A and B are shown apart, each in its own frame.
Chain A
Amino acid sequence: SQTIHQWPATLVQPVGSPLSLECTVEGTSNPNLYWYRQAAGRGLQLLFYSVGIGQISSEVPQNLSASRPQDRQFILSSKKLLLSDSGFYLCAWIGGRTNTGELFFGEGSRLTVL
């Protein structure tokens, strides 16, 4: 069966500090991978998506970056966090060899920037 792991679950970081969130998928291959951010009481904002190793499409952020060093690994990073980076970060995948059209989410990483 397919699973998705995302960590850390919760973190509190000072402004200007670096960030690294990691997401791995198991049980499938060649998935499309996504990073979303959800501010408190708001919808999901698409940050990055990837259709293959090393292929990253950026939607919005200026101080965030993403990388896909392996087929089932997706990393979200920042060199210097801003207060506005606080939020609930969700990794998700779709496709692969068992594509049902459903987007599967990790349990999320809740980031508070102080």
Chain B
Amino acid sequence: RKEVEQDPGPFNVPEGATVAFNCTYSNSASQSFFWYRQDCRKEPKLLMSVYSSGNEDGRFTAQLNRASQYISLLIRDSKLSDSATYLCVVLPYSSASKIIFGSGTRLSIRP
């Protein structure tokens, strides 16, 4: 089993739709979780951290389910500019040493 797994997509949804995708991880001792966004041919950039109680940033909501070992990202009222690849990141418990990315979920918003 891969350490971090994501549905590669692509998710193709109309503007204004709500879309959600998950990321599963295998190491139950993992401590920190993040969602990154990567535009085509660019470096990834932090979208948001994922807190145990769940957190929201505007149209974006991130949640953590430790029991089932997955994190999720929900995007409401999607915009054309949300089209990108979304990568989940899992950091190990003891220290931020080995950092593993999921393979990314490609999202395409159509007009």
Contact = CB atoms under 8 A, between A and B. Distances in A.
B89 interface: yes
Contact of A43 (B42, B98, B99, B102): B102
B46 A102 contact: yes
A103 B98 contact: no
Nearest to B45: A105
Interface string A77-114: 00000000000101010110001011101111010000
A34 interface: yes
Secondary structure type dominating chain A contacts: strand
Contact of B101 (A46, A57, A102, A106): A46
Chain A interface residue count: which class?
20 to 34
Contacts of A13: none
Nearest to B3: A46
Given A43-B101, A46-B101, A51-B97, A101 B44 contact: no
A99 B97 CA distance: 13
A46 B102 contact: no
Contacts of B101: 36, 43-44, 46
A32 interface: yes
B44 A105 contact: yes
A107 B103 contact: no
A101 B43 contact: no
A49 interface: yes
Interface of A: 32, 34, 36, 42-44, 46, 49, 51, 57, 59, 88, 90, 92, 94-95, 99, 101-103, 105-108, 110
5 contacts: A42-B103, A43-B103, A49-B98, A101-B32, A101-B96
